[in-house]
Amino acid sequence: MKPITFACQGTLSLTPDEIAEQILDLAKWPDFRGYVPIPGIKSAEFEVKTPNIIGIRIRVANLDGSSHVEEIVEWQPDRRLQLCIDGFSSSLSRLATRFVETWECQRQGIEIKITRSVEFNTKSLLVWPELWLISFILKLAIARHLKEMRNKP
């Protein structure tokens, strides 16, 4: 079955290395506030840490009590980062097998253009409409997060 996909773009005055540092700084993860009904992040902690970053697994607790795991599967901070998201605890586990989030960086003068794309892998055609609606709302949450990242010093 074809996955559901979307992408958001924004420009940041951070360097790609600073963006990568923020992803590894789990104290920053609660900055993702979600977008009703998508919950924000309450906390994140390393479940598995690896010396080369690829394979790091991060357990995420959301504000609604749900949780999931994000694994870093690609790490090229100057160009591309990719996280595989699975281990959903809530009703999301009946809708999707996993999400893949990709951050692509492209220099534009002194700023960096970020494209954050997400791919949802649905469990069945029956749940596709519900997951499509979730993807639409998550796109709004990610767009707001990029805007907030731009406006934070």
What does the pLDDT average to over 77-88? 95
Q: What is the DSSP letter of 28?
A: G
pLDDT at 51: 93
Mean pLDDT of 132-149: 94
Mean pLDDT of 60-87: 96
CATH class of residue range 4-151: alpha beta
What is the pLDDT, as a whole number, of residue 91? Answer: 80
CA–CA separation, 45 and 61 (whole Å): 9
Average pLDDT, the chain: 93
How far is Cα 132 from Cα 1, in angstroms, rounded to an integer? 13
Q: What are phi and psi of 129, to 5 degrees?
A: -60, -40
15 φ, ψ (degrees, to nearest 5): -80, 160
Which ranges of the chain would DSSP assign to H, the alpha helix?
16-24, 128-151
Where in the chain are the domains?
4-151
Q: What is the mean pLDDT of residues 22-39?
A: 94
Joined together, the tokens standing for residue 38 give 């998508």
pLDDT at 90: 74
Q: Which of 57-61, 109-113, 133-137 has the lowest mean pLDDT?
A: 109-113
Q: Token pair of 96, please? A: 């999707």
How many Å apart are CA 74 and CA 82, to the nearest integer? Answer: 5
